[in-house]
Amino acid sequence: MTDSGPSRKMSRAKLVILGRDNCGKTALCVRFITKRFIGEYDHKKEVTYRCRKTVDKETIDLEILDTANKECVGSAAPSLESSIKWGDGFLIMYSITDRSSFESVSHLKRLIDHVKQTLGIPTVIVANKCDMENGRVVRTEEGKALASDLRCSFFELSVAECSVAVELAVEKLVREVRLEYQRHLLAMDKRSRMLQMRHALSRKLTRSKTMQW
Ligand SMILES: Nc1nc2c(ncn2[C@@H]2O[C@H](COP(=O)(O)OP(=O)(O)OP(=O)(O)O)[C@@H](O)[C@H]2O)c(=O)[nH]1
């Protein structure tokens, strides 16, 4: 997140896409950036995409980290933690056709809270592959309930079938990151006002002591 000068608008944000292997993370990134759905990708590499988008009439430069096949335990954990430290906002994905991907959502959310050492980090949960109704093993209600427990926004969509739904989900995350940025600025302003007041008060006290002498 960075301040773009006097207007204090957020000009950049770093988003991290998390989720079990094969849930559609790369497909979502590519869909968001190019509006295209491409069936198969190289699954081995972690990639950072850069793009400029306009959300609510404000332009923003996004860096989107597509994490590769990461679990929250074992040898991949330190690298996952460094990706989380890097990010401003998180999109956790699962596939409605893979229960283990659904089960990893809460582990990932807990890890985000732990690494960031605070609650309320902008996080959106995306249930993917809703075009595969025949293979569904996670009900929409389960996804909604989990998102509500974890206090995250929730989208069920098909990256394969709907570009607009992908845009809505990522834009929601951008809005949440912006809101957090504004909150952070307000807190900083408040802190600096308090410090100014404290300095002014201590100067006044010193002056009045000097006068007594
Ligand atoms: N039917 C359907 N298939 C999808 C959808 N999204 C992704 N896929 C397919 O799911 C498979 C995995 O997609 P990826 O985008 O590579 O998944 P990933 O999460 O990046 O996988 P890893 O790189 O292994 O972590 C590919 O064969 C995609 O074509 C979807 O909405 N519907």
Q: For residue range 116-152, list pLDDT tens digits in order.
A: 998 889 999 999 999 999 999 999 999 999 999 999 9
Question: Average pLDDT in the 110-119 region?
Answer: 92
pTM for the whole structure? 0.87
- Taking alpha carbons only, the member of 104, 92, 79 closest to residue 15 is 92
CATH, residue 125 = 3.40.50.300
Q: With beta carbons less than 8 A apart as the criterion, state whether 95 and 23 touch.
A: yes
- pLDDT for the residue numbered 190: 81
Residue 3 falls inside a structural domain: no
3-state SS assignment for residue 170: helix
Residue 128 falls inside a structural domain: yes
Q: What is the domain count for the chain?
A: 1
Ligand 1 mutation pick, 16, 23, 42, max ligand atoms within 8 A of CB: 23
DSSP E strands, the chain? 2-3, 10-19, 47-55, 58-66, 89-95, 123-128, 153-156
Residue 161 falls inside a structural domain: yes
CA trace torsion 89, 95, 96, 97 (10° rounding): -170
DSSP letter, residue 130: T
9 by Cβ neighbours in 10 Å (0-12 / 13-18 / 19+) ranks as middle
Residue 210 falls inside a structural domain: no
Residue 203 falls inside a structural domain: no
| pLDDT greater at residue 106 or residue 193 | 106
Closest-lying ligand 1 atom to the alpha carbon of residue 27: 15
Q: Is the CB of 18 under 6 A from ligand 1?
A: no
Q: Which range marks the domain in which residue 77 is found?
A: 12-195
- pLDDT for the residue numbered 30: 95
Q: CA 158 to CA 25: how far, in whole Å?
A: 12
Residues of the chain with pLDDT > 90: what percent?
69
Q: CA 140 to CA 213: how far, in whole Å?
A: 75
What does the block give as tokens for 36? 């295209």
- pLDDT for the residue numbered 6: 47
Q: Is the CB of 41 under 6 A from ligand 1?
A: yes
3-state SS assignment for residue 22: coil
Q: Is the CB of 37 under 6 A from ligand 1?
A: no
Residue 179: CA count within 13 A, CB half-sphere: 11
Q: Is the CB of 4 under 6 A from ligand 1?
A: no
Q: What is the ipTM of this complex?
A: 0.98
| pLDDT greater at residue 22 or residue 8 | 22
Residue 114 falls inside a structural domain: yes
Distance 175 CA to ligand 1 centre (A): 25
Question: Average pLDDT in the 63-74 region?
Answer: 75
Residue 13's DSSP bridge partners are: 62
